[in-house]
Homo-oligomer: A and B are copies of this chain.
Amino acid sequence: QIDSARLWGSIHETAQFGATAKGGVRRLTLSSEDKQVRDWFRKACEDAGLEVHVDALGSIFGLRKGRDMSKPPVGIGSHLDTQPTGGKYDGILGTLGALEVIRTLNDAGIETEAPICVVNWTNEEGSRFAPAMMASAAYVGDFTTDDILSRKDAEGTTVGQALDSIGYRGDKPVGFQKLGCFVELHIEQGPILEAEGKTIGVVDSGQGVLWYDGKISGFESHAGSTPMLLRRDALATLSEIVLAMESIAKKHGPNAVGTIGEAVIANPSRNVIPGEIAFTMDCRSADGAIMDALDRDLRAAIADIAARRKVEVQIDLVWRKAPTHFDPKLIAAVENAAKTLGYSSRRITSGAGHDACNLNTVMPAAMVFVPCKDGISHNELEDATQGDCAAGTNVLMHTVLAIAGV
């Protein structure tokens, strides 16, 4: 059994780095707050006896030796960055839970056959830089390191500049640390476990993701003197797109969602009809065929709206992540650990994307979910209980022990 109080203490101690007035955390990737939590985490890993290295994209790897160093390490961990209005648990539970597993094994004097590697992946959230799960995507070869280093945030700062500014451009090449498999603990970020009174979600699959950048070019004109019928209003165009996306997602539901999270009017003024809007779109489904249908329906709807309103709408697919099907043996190992420990569990699909989904494309991977309050995440009010966090960490530890061998 892990030390529930120690885990809870770590979560709340690090929640000060970027703490918001509403009880959440604002810790955008590679920000000064992210540097604070990284420094804390690196030191905690070193204090736990891990050999710590940082790769060229800032991901932190802490290695615990195993008896048989020819075996590839069992990877565990998640991420410490948050949304602009994020919570205390998303990613953090999985990273500090991994640290807690190491501390518990140390305290108990348990040596494993295979080594264990704790990982904090850079930019899982994808708010500041796209795509989400950026560093693990580069790790598995979906993008080159140079490509990722050149990605820019809204202010034009590149990933490379941001890494340098907080001193986390590491000296190890991406992929330097081989892993045999990866297990990630996370809050569910949805309402199912809580509603069904289950403690552990055995994650067997994850939704695929489509991310688009969009730009609407209408025509600025005077709000008072331009007749309704002569307008080429970028905001009215966006409004139709938002509602079209909503109904397309519902039509393909319940296994589909669609969101427009960002929309910025250029040079806004009360008495000017909006002429230009930049926006983003996020569509998801656990079913690849539905993802294709969402893309097709959305493009058709947008083309129709643009033609009718005589505006230009440009849509660029900037990221496509296929649905995830986790490794059956690792899924069984998670399920077995939950059963052994006496926790209620159910199989579940992840609505959110996770670094484990990227790793699963090149190695066996699996995930452990615990409930979160009212299914709320990506919100400062995100909440989870100490008991559930500890239960998830126990399942993580027992899964690791089963895979690594004692």
Task: Please give the residue numbers on chain A whose beta carbons come within 8 Å of chain B beta carbons, in ascending order.
Answer: 83-85, 125-127, 130, 132, 188-191, 207, 209, 211, 219-230, 233, 235-236, 238-240, 242-243, 246, 249-250, 253-254, 256-265, 267-275, 280, 282, 284, 350-353, 375-380
Contacts and interface: CB of A to CB of B under 8 A. Distances in A.
A266 B125 CA distance: 17
Secondary structure at the A interface, as helix, strand, loop or mixed, is loop
Contact of A353 (B224, B240, B378, B379): B224
A392 to B, nearest CB: 17
B249 A377 contact: no
Given A83-B267, A83-B272, A85-B220, 19 more contacts: A85-B269, A126-B270, A211-B270, A219-B379, A221-B377, A223-B378, A224-B352, A228-B250, A229-B254, A233-B246, A235-B261, A238-B239, A239-B240, A243-B243, A261-B265, A261-B270, A261-B273, A262-B265, A270-B280
Nearest to A282: B223
Contacts of A85: 220, 267, 269, 272, 275
B378 A127 contact: no
B261 A263 contact: no
Assembly stoichiometry (copies): 2
B377 A222 contact: yes
B125 A352 contact: no
B243 A239 contact: yes
A265 B84 CA distance: 12
Given A83-B269, A280-B270, A227 B257 contact: yes
A170 to B, nearest CB: 26
Contacts of A275: 85, 379
7 contacts: A84-B268, A127-B270, A132-B270, A222-B377, A230-B375, A236-B242, A271-B282
B262 A263 contact: no
A267 B261 CA distance: 10
B242 A246 contact: no
Nearest first, the 6 A-B pairs at minimum CB distance are A225-B351, A239-B239, A223-B259, A190-B225, A239-B242, A127-B269
A224 B257 contact: yes
A379 B280 CA distance: 25
B228 A249 contact: yes
Contacts of A273: 259, 261, 378
A284 B228 contact: no
Contact of A272 (B221, B250, B378): B378
A381 to B, nearest CB: 9
A297 B277 CA distance: 27
B378 A271 contact: yes
Given A239-B242, A261-B272, A379-B275, A84 B222 contact: no
A254 B227 contact: yes
Nearest to A131: B270
Contacts of A256: 228
A188 B224 CA distance: 11
A267 B243 CA distance: 21
A40 to B, nearest CB: 24
A207 B271 CA distance: 13
Contacts of A207: 224
